[in-house]
Amino acid sequence: MTAKLLMEDLHVGFGTGDHTTTILESINFSIHAGEFVAITGPSGSGKSTLLSVAGTLLTPTRGHLLLDGQSLSRLNAKESANVRLHQIGFIFQSAHLIPYLNVEDQLLYIGKIGKIPKQKAKKRADELLDMLGLDHRRRHYPVHLSGGERQRVAIARAWMNDPQLLLADEPTASLDASRGQEVVETLATQVRQQQIAAVMVTHDTRLFRFCDRVITLSDGKVDQIEERNE
């Protein structure tokens, strides 16, 4: 089975010669369709840098990054932006919803910038709102939503353009434990149903039970890969 996301001997460093600082070193792993993988490790271990490389926000110093067989290692700025818009969905610590758009319009706006035809975008938004239990909140603005609801809108928004890869950076950091687990359980379920690849950076060990694998980073290297849900 072809990997959705593949990292081969991936390095990230800054500086030149004797003044080089290595952030990531010899990263090798793959994620297949329907897999939900957690990345964990202490602060400064390279987790956020790894997510930035996977999301084409940062170019690796050397090595290979492939998404669905397409090399992403040396894209120019325009090509990277196109990949992020059409192939990658992002979920951050905070939902970052647009305050003056209601829930439905948050999704339709993503469809608009992704150049999805209006009828198709409306149908996709309806499906996502129903799937994530938000249909009754479609006309509400972010200020009137709970923290869990806002993160579910963020999940729906990340899925709006049918991404091949979903990247979540501490998606439960702003939520209490029960809300956080609810959001990640929803995320994991939809990753498997939609058959996309997903990577979540988290410090919360309670969330590992929703994941297929847990990759621990230490000093910019893969320290351990633990299989879960076998």
CATH (domain of 157):
3.40.50.300
Give the per-residue pLDDT at 21: 86
Phi, psi of 9 (to 5 degrees): 45, 50
Give the per-residue pLDDT at 69: 87
Give the per-residue pLDDT at 131: 83
Give the per-residue pLDDT at 229: 64
pLDDT tens per residue across all 230 residues of the chain: 456 899 999 999 987 766 778 899 999 999 999 999 999 999 989 999 999 999 999 999 999 999 988 898 888 889 999 999 999 999 988 889 999 999 999 999 999 998 999 999 999 999 999 988 899 999 999 999 998 899 889 989 998 988 999 999 988 887 888 888 888 998 899 899 889 999 999 999 999 999 999 999 999 999 999 988 65
Give the per-residue pLDDT at 53: 93
Decide if 45 contacts 201 (C-beta within 8 A).
Answer: no
What DSSP designation does 41 have?
-
Q: What is the CA radius of gyration of the chain?
A: 18
Give the per-residue pLDDT at 220: 92
Could you give the number of structural domains in the chain? Answer: 1
Give the per-residue pLDDT at 186: 86
- In which element (H, E) is residue 168 found? strand 165-169
What DSSP designation does 38 have?
E
Residue-range definition of the domain harbouring residue 82:
5-227
